[in-house]
Chain A
Amino acid sequence: MTETTRTTGVSRRTLLKGTAGLAGLAAGSGAITGFPYVMSAEPKVLRYLGTAVNEGDDISKQCLKDTGIKIEYITATTDDVTKRVMTQPNSFDVLDTEYFSLKKLVPSGNILALDAKKIKEFDNITPVFTKGETPGGKKIGNQGTAPWKVLYLEGKDSKTFAKTATEFVTLIPTVYNADTLGIRPDLIKRPISSWSELLNPEFKGKASILNIPSIGIMDAAMVVEATGKYKYADKGNMTKEEIDLTMKVMTEAKKAGQFRAFWKDFNESVNLMASGETVIQSMWSPAVTKVRSMGIACTFQPLKEGYRSWASGFCVSKGVSGAKLDWAYEFVNWFLSGYAGAYLNRQGYYSAVLSTAKAHMEPYEWAYWMEGKPAEKDIKAPDGSLLEKAGAVRDGGSYEDRMGAVACWNAVMDENDYMVRKWNEFIAA
């Protein structure tokens, strides 16, 4: 009788505790000593604040299985993540955010730089982050808030970015991509090869860009340069005159009825494209995949002027210390160890440590996603749904070709405040 009760107690805990409990059940079924062990084991929980990009049930489940760390996701938009770091730094442990936000986050003193020496795979991180070049040696565009400009801090509590490598890393890179325009090839019916097509009157009332000022202005700058109107010294750090010029070009196009709508989140961009309201617009790679998975032709079109890139990574809240900090390192090390990297690669993003991700992918998957080769077999998304049939080639080709063609990075400008005001004028025009 007592035996039964005790066993039930253990099994219930097993459900709650997952793998940690399994050991307890094995011990508990025979000896009594196993039970108190389960009771005293401190749950390893990390509150993880970030955008939805890196967050997936599969990742958190695998992490719990491998390390016993339970991840609690707090999902927010890029802007809201930054806002939360500023106003509620104690409401999260691990922070997953973009490099361009660092210009605001580091001076605020609310985040803790991580120690490169404690990151096992740090030396294997792709040279895209550390040197600004691809593994094949292609130089990557330097404009905007490129990750290598803000990767290191001078000291543990420093608020200034170091020019050379130090052991204090602002964000341990996790995921990045090269963005371009999405198009509806079935409705455009001709090749598109330049950013300037966004303002081509041929697509009047059928174009769109995103209404997030710091990213939208970069797309606008790519367009302005492509039309040959102006060449920026640094698209990611414009002067007031350059901002005025960029917004003037965009405002004229808006007044002429070029844009159908602006979008602010992933789903809006998918709906605009899928419903045929727009045929050419700024887009994110997974949104293109989403439109395609609805059975509608959509291309993430490589353009001759190159890509606008973004990257994100991990750091922790200033308030994290002791055992929790150790778990955070354990989690980051786990994240770079391959499973998560392969998971991200299969969605069309890129992982920070290529070698470990490769080890977790099938050779045909690696060939399709990273080497730009035609798919040997059907390509499936992480959830098992069909993405591409055998024979398909990834838009933009290989990792080398795509990352090597990056022209600029998402940025926060010195004149950010002025830019936001001008952006409001553009919307009001």
Chain B
Amino acid sequence: MDTSENILQQASPGFARGSDTARAAKAARLSPSFISWLQAGPMMLVFLAFFLIPLVFVVIVSFWDYNEYQLLPAFSGRGYTDTFEGCIAQLPDLCTIGKTYLKTLKLCFLVWAITLFIGFWVAYFLAFHVKSKTWQMGLSLLCTIPFWTSNVIRMIAWIPLLGRNGLVNSGLVKTGLINQPVEWLLYSEFSVVLALVHLFTFFMVVPIFNSMVRIDKSLIEAAYDAGATGFQTLVNVVIPLAKPGIVIGSIFVITIVMGDFITIGVMGGQQIAAAGKIIETRLNALQFPAAAANAVILLAITFLIITMMSRIVDIRKEL
């Protein structure tokens, strides 16, 4: 009835002009799909204005030509060909971009694995070992305390600790464990991974904890009653049910680490190449199309990783 009236009105606006009250009532009863659009609208507009449109521009600009001081709006693949310069000629050696991505992926994998391991057990402790809700809240708030200071400060705080004459080295030398200060503590892959783990473990803890507290405790009791060991319960009950949290946390960590260039720059002593670093150098040299091309490549690779992960777990179904 409602829909037929709608169709009629659409077909000929004059037709249903019968009574004004009916029209007023109809206006008040907006169709459910319109209400959904209205509700999703603001977020959609923000998404469109601040994400999709800029992204389209980035893709367009990545195909422009450029010189020392301006963008030339003519189609050119130069941003991409420059990026992959010498990649075929250098085979079997990896070219710059190949090496850079391999290094970025390696750092990303290490950080992901470590934050997942630590994050999982912190969340497990909070969800299953801390019984009182108040303590759970209190302890998870405690996890956020480091976030009260800026990223950069938390990162830089490592430098006096790890340096050649830093706290760790002087402590080790004084106790006689080593004679010479250890060089690889700072400005190395070790320090980069350490800082990244320190910065981003929390992004793993929260989603995993969130999934875990929703696990019905009776399932764990049932597993226990059925004679499962603690390990079997963990593998067959807890991990499958915590999967959405694990995937969401992983997406956070992987996207941040793939794009990071500040932490890798500072903690790596500017000596370790990262995908984000290439974009920064290009921007500083006013080579915007080349920077855009690298941004597109980085986005594509990150997108690929996330697609693979969401193949493993259908987040929408699990939530």
- A-to-B contact residues, CB < 8 Å: 79-80, 82-83, 86, 103-105, 107-108, 205, 211-213, 254, 259-264, 271, 275-277, 412, 416-417, 420-421, 423-425, 427-429
Contacts and interface: CB of A to CB of B under 8 A. Distances in A.
A238 to B, nearest CB: 16
B269 A260 contact: yes
Contacts, number: 87
B185 to A, nearest CB: 11
A260 B165 contact: no
B100 A428 contact: yes
A205 B184 CA distance: 10
A420 B284 CA distance: 10
Contacts of A80: 284
The 6 tightest CB contacts between A and B, nearest first, are A261-B269, A428-B273, A262-B270, A79-B284, A108-B69, A104-B69
A108 B68 CA distance: 9
Contacts of B100: 424, 428
Contacts of B120: none
Interface stretch (B2-10, B51-59, B156-164, B242-250): B156-164
B183 interface: yes
A423 B68 contact: no
B273 A427 contact: yes
Nearest to B183: A205
A213 B166 CA distance: 30
A262 B272 CA distance: 10
User: Mostly helix, strand, loop or mixed at chain B's interface?
Assistant: loop
B164 A276 contact: yes
B277 interface: yes
Given A104-B69, A261-B269, A262-B271, 17 more contacts: A104-B68, A104-B286, A205-B183, A260-B269, A261-B187, A262-B269, A277-B163, A277-B187, A416-B285, A417-B285, A420-B281, A423-B281, A424-B96, A424-B273, A424-B277, A427-B273, A429-B99
B96 A417 contact: no
B71 to A, nearest CB: 9
Nearest to B283: A83
B265 A424 contact: no
A423 B282 CA distance: 11
Most chain A CB inside 10 Å of its own CB: which residue of B68, B100, B272, B277: B68
A259 B271 CA distance: 9
B123 interface: no
Contact of A261 (B82, B165, B270, B282): B270
24 contacts: A83-B286, A86-B70, A104-B68, A104-B69, A205-B183, A212-B284, A213-B285, A260-B269, A262-B270, A264-B270, A275-B159, A276-B164, A277-B163, A277-B186, A277-B187, A417-B285, A420-B287, A421-B82, A424-B277, A427-B270, A427-B277, A427-B281, A428-B100, A428-B273
B187 A260 contact: yes
Interface string B168-189: 0000000000000001001100
B270 A428 contact: no
